[in-house]
Amino acid sequence: MKPEPPPTGQTRPPDPSEQEPMLYCPCCDARLAELKCKLICRRCGYYMSCADYY
């Protein structure tokens, strides 16, 4: 049997939020800004410090 070719028209570029979900705000999905040891959402004010990773 021959292998089937990949379906056409169904490829899409990877969504950055799927690769690095921690860089996006869990409240409003905006990209978080990095400021020293914090990630801050400039849209809604959410923040996460480096201590929250552990």
Which bin fits 13, alpha (ψ -120 to 50), beta or left (φ > 0)? Answer: beta
Q: Quote the pLDDT of residue 19.
A: 74
Identify whether 9 is part of a domain: no
Identify whether 31 is part of a domain: yes
Say if residue 43's pLDDT is above 80.
yes
Range of the domain at 42: 20-53
Nearest to 39 by CA among 29, 26, 48, 30: 48
d(CA 18, CA 12): 13
Identify whether 34 is part of a domain: yes
What's the domain count of the chain? Answer: 1
Average pLDDT over every residue of 22-49: 93
> Taking the model in full, what pTM does it have?
0.59
Q: Quote the pLDDT of residue 18.
A: 58
Identify whether 35 is part of a domain: yes
Using a pLDDT cut of 90, give the percent of the chain over it: 41
Residue reference for tokens 């400021």: 35
